[in-house]
Amino acid sequence: MRNTTSALLLMMLSAATAAQETGYITDKLFVPVRSGQGSEYRIVHRGIPTGTQLVVNEVNEETGYSNITTAGGTEGWILSRYIMQEVPAAIQLEELQAQNAVLMGDEDSLRSQLVELQRSEADMRASLEAAQTELSDSRNELVEVRRVSANALELDNNNRRLTEEMEVIKSRVEVLQADNMRLQAKADSDSFLNGALAVFLGVIITLLVRALWPQRKRSSGWA
């Protein structure tokens, strides 16, 4: 009897595995935790919800129970079929939905940023067009200023040239006026001399005529 009991204990010990690995409760809503490996043992926890992370301390393949410890410190036995190595699909779905919500929020944020960037781009394009228009106007004004400046310079040069020519003409006019006055004075002098000469010649001719013309003798009856 003692040998049989020892053999049974050895078989149970050899079947039990000290796993110390992480597991998750399956998609079953609640899994009760018992004090021993069987439904007849006392329930130490009414039910662990789906997706709860556990530490698997020991797995008994014969009884189909595993010894677990929860994050809250609850320790006991649950059916091994309720433990899985991966996160349950429901939890994954919730996580995916949460991630999707985050992504949707990020998408909305990105769309808002995109709209803002497009608005900023439109403003920048409008500013660029305004700047280009202003630059074109400035270039046109510069061309006009250069043209006016060239005309002004040409007018100034012409004005200087005309001023110099007027000075030359004025000098020539003054010289001509001086020559005219000199010629007029000479003409007046010559006219005076000619008049005087004519008078002098008239007097000479008169005297000569009187001297050369024979005088009639006076009649003697007057004696």
pLDDT digits (tens, 9 = 90+) for 190-220: 778 878 888 888 888 888 877 777 655 554 4
- Give residue 8's pLDDT: 42
Cα maximum dimension of the chain:
241
- Note whether 61 and 146 are same-domain residues: no
Task: For residue 194, give both structure tokens.
Answer: 């000619």
Q: Within a domain: residue 217? A: no
Q: Which residue type, as a one-letter code, is found at position 103?
A: L
Asked if residues 91 and 79 have their Cβ atoms less than 8 Å apart, the reply is no
Question: What's the whole-model pTM score?
Answer: 0.35
- Quote the domain boundaries for residue 68: 2-87
Please give the radius of gyration of the chain, using alpha carbons only, rounded to the nearest integer: 71
Amino acid at 140: N
* Total number of domains in the chain: 2
Whether 78 and 95 map to the same domain: the answer is no
**Which has more confidence, 114 or 211?**
114
Q: How confident is the model at residue 3 (pLDDT cuts 50, 70, 90)?
A: very low
- Decide if 98 is inside a domain: yes
Q: What is the mean pLDDT of the chain?
A: 79
Considering the domain architecture, whether residues 95 and 81 belong to the same structural domain is answered as no
Clarify whether residues 64 and 162 are in a common domain.
no
Token duo for residue 212 = 């050369």
Tokens of 215: 């005088």
* Range 85-112 average pLDDT: 78
Residues 113 and 169 in one domain: yes
Model confidence pLDDT, tens digit, residues 6-42: 444 444 444 444 446 777 666 556 788 999 999 899 9
Residue 81 shares a structural domain with residue 116: no
State the Cα angle at 188 between 184 and 192, rounded to 5°. 170
The CA distance from 7 to 11, in Å, is 6
Is residue 96 domain-shared with residue 192, that is, in the same domain? yes
What share of the chain has pLDDT > 90, as a percent? 13
Shared domain for 107 and 52, answered yes or no, is no
> In whole angstroms, what is the distance from residue 37 CA to residue 89 CA?
27
Looking at residue 2, its pLDDT comes to: 40
pLDDT at 36: 93
Predicted confidence (pLDDT) at residue 45 exceeds the cutoff of 70: yes
